[in-house]
Amino acid sequence: MTRQPLINADRLWIRLMALAEIGATPAGGVNRQALSDGEIAAWRRVIGWAREVGLTPSTDAAGNLFLTLAGRDRAAPPLLLGSHLDSQPTGGKFDGAAGVMAALEAVVSLVEQSDKPARDVIVVAWMNEEGSRFAPGMMGSEAFTGGRGMDAIRAVRDADGVNVGEALDRLHQAFPDMPHRPLGFAAGAYLELHIEQGPLLEAAGCTIGVVTGIQGKKTFQVVVEGAEGHAGTLAQRERRDALAAFAQVANALHAEIGAIDADIKFTIGRVAVVPNAPSVVPSRVSFSIDLRHPDNTVLDVAGARIKALCQENAPPCSVTVTPLVDAPSNVFDPRLRASIAKAAREQGHAAMAILSAAGHDARHLAKVCPAAMIFIPCRDGASHVEHEWAEPDHVGAGAAVLAQVLRELAFAPGIEA
């Protein structure tokens, strides 16, 4: 007898491509940033698909979207699975969205093929994972797990001066009849599928990555303050050129921090110059630092050197270094990892253990419940770009592995730590 497929892979792909139409860019990517009109439209489409099989939508103060399949024991901690719907401004079709759509397909197939699960099963789309419009990212999952307060989150502004609070209120106004959950609730487990965003699975010829954990990350905002001056009349020795000071600081940081070892990842990203005029000595430069390493000791030592290096190299300008994110490396639940590896093996997929170099919402969920991630390959390891691509067979395979693990958990009495 032929075994019934765990999911409908064709339906999953069609819906994933339909979702990619919302915020589609001319170059084939997606611009659907957090709490934008595009994300509101994505909510409407995903909620529509969920309601077709009786899932109930709800949200919370942080703008997370929950789609609930009721279980037999409504009081038991539910199973959560999902990712995020927001993208980078020049993002791709798969980052985040593949995880939400794979989770939805796993639950839809569960409804179509199985009895009511032992506990609630909830598909979740976390608010502002990317941090492209509002920085830093992972606001929804961090608020949900108690890592960041809503007052601080609501105060963050985008480049146009709109704060998160205003954007959240607008999101909720678009869904006036949607029930609101309390912010944060006990979860039995969390599962997240994601493209790898790196080249290792593709290079190894593996379809499934069993994610061991996520490397640690620290971010900083640095502001160098100097003084404006006329480019044609102010002598070099009298200048407090913020851009020149930034160049000295950046060079020192790259020379020391960027050369610590082969595993360090040091990036100076967004840079803003004031007044940014051709004939005016720059008075202010602000820039971001992204620092990552799998070893928390190395990460802490490197992070501690950043402020000192900035202060040593900024004169005659002044400098302020503000830490933003401090996320240590984490390890995912070994039982869930074993279940993922078992499902991959039984379905005939080549699999390997892999450390996530990028950050994900699962990092925060792992603090409050058993959590794990499934990676699938992406072409050339490219992500956060418009040509980001995952093969339909790989998306389907990852979703089928997710569905098998979900079914094992959904009918079990409990896996809480």
User: What residues are designated binding site?
Assistant: 84, 95, 130, 194, 384
Residues placed in the known binding site for Zn(2+): 84, 95, 130, 194, 384
Q: Report the distance separating Cα 7 and Cα 283, nearest Å.
A: 58
- Phi/psi of residue 407, nearest 5 degrees: -65, -35
Residue located via tokens 């899932």? 55
Q: Report the distance separating Cα 90 and Cα 415, nearest Å.
A: 39
Q: Report the distance separating Cα 33 and Cα 30, nearest Å.
A: 9
Contact 121, 410 (CB under 8 A): yes
Contact 138, 363 (CB under 8 A): yes
> In sequence order, what DSSP letters do the residues of 193-222 get, joined into one string?
EEE-SSSHHHHHT-SEEEEEEE-EEEEEEE
- Phi/psi of residue 340, nearest 5 degrees: -65, -45
Q: Report the distance separating Cα 152 and Cα 94, nearest Å.
A: 30
The tokens of 51 are what? 């309601």
> In sequence order, what DSSP letters do the residues of 173-196 get, joined into one string?
HHSTT--B--S----SEEEEEEE-
